[in-house]
A = this chain, B = another copy of it.
Amino acid sequence: MATLPLSYPMSGGDGPHSYVRNSSYQKAAIDSVKEKTKEAISKILDFHNQPFKGEVFRVADFGCSFGQNTFDVVGNIIQTVELKHKQEKTEEEKIKNPKKELEFHVFFNDQPNNDFNTLFKTLPLLLSTRRCFAYGVPSSFYGRVLPRNSIHIGHTSYTLHWLSKAPEDVGDRNSPAWNKDSIQCTSLVGEASNAYRVQFKRDMADFIEARAEELVPGGLMIISGQCLPDDVSMVSTWKGVVIDMIGDCLFDMAKSGVTREEMVESFNLPIYFPNTSELEEVIEQNGCFRIEIMEEVKHPMEDETLSNDFIVSKFRAIFHGVIEEHFGGGLIDELFGRFAKKLTSYPVDFKKCRKDMQYFIVLKRYVF
């Protein structure tokens, strides 16, 4: 695709380093919003006051990756909608079509290099029966990927901190935003941080704009993910500490000659945790959605001291693709071996770290 943003899929298959086996942190987060999602749909979705013809209900999971998490999310949405639909059937409808049930179409969206083969081969029964049709949509969600005015509920979980790309300036030796000593903007001030912020706002605006086109008026967009309270900087969180530590390992490897220093200097993670106010601002600027819910969610593992093994596996599964893209595949084992050792020598002091924030947002597409 000509305009395809960079894309770093989660580790495919189901081997020991795969995303499937190392996404329990994400799963815990998804579980924590399961009930909230049910409540929101029950309360906010309106079968009677939106252009909804009542035969086919369309659900999309943007940036679905693969594995059980997306199936759980979509299954939860379908079951909630189904129940609500049965409960709210008018007496007239009940007499006219006593047996008529909703038909669901589920669109699984992710980058073309996502492991759709695994996704399709593991579709659970609920999503592959004749009443539910599953589609793969291989395209970047920072542009439109679905027909206009077609989706009733859109969903995305823990995807929007992935930028479409690292801001160009931070990798440019001649730019004032050049981000030489870090692989993200965790400890940055000034130009580099600003370049990340601008990139986030642009990407998020594109995401919201595309969804505004795809959702039917009255349709819901459910978003969960991670951000930072307005007074917290990334470097003071445990994730920021860990990202810096991985960066340090890369610089160590450059010193040992495993890679070149320029390679590490020009490497920048396309990741940004916005502050809550930045997030809210972009949504409101779009103007097509009413913010029905925007609240903090406690991550179930938030107060746990995570084991070093857990941290290494989690970050390996997540960063594997983006690191391989820049450095080639040969250095992954050594990098995460070094990272594991460094973590043992300098364990994260979770008590000293500030907390990042998990958010749960439900937007409703205005009926103009």
Give the B-binding residues of A (Cβ under 8 A). 1-4, 55-56, 103, 105, 107, 112-117, 120-121, 123, 125, 128-130, 133-139, 143-148
Contacts and interface: CB of A to CB of B under 8 A. Distances in A.
Contacts of A112: 120-121, 123, 128
Contact of A133 (B2, B3, B115, B145): B145
B130 A144 contact: yes
A129 B56 contact: no
Contacts of A136: 116, 120, 135-138
Contacts of A116: 116-117, 120, 136
A185 B158 CA distance: 54
A146 B133 contact: yes
Given A117-B117, A135-B137, A125 B56 contact: no
A25 B147 CA distance: 36
B133 A120 contact: no
A56 B115 CA distance: 28
Contact of A138 (B134, B138, B144): B134
26 contacts: A1-B125, A2-B125, A2-B128, A2-B129, A4-B128, A55-B148, A103-B147, A112-B121, A113-B117, A113-B120, A113-B121, A114-B120, A116-B117, A116-B120, A120-B136, A120-B138, A128-B139, A133-B144, A133-B147, A134-B137, A134-B138, A134-B139, A135-B136, A136-B136, A136-B137, A136-B138
A148 B131 CA distance: 12
A130 B115 contact: no
A114 B120 CA distance: 9
Closest 7 CB pairs of A and B: A136-B136, A120-B138, A1-B128, A112-B120, A116-B116, A135-B135, A117-B117
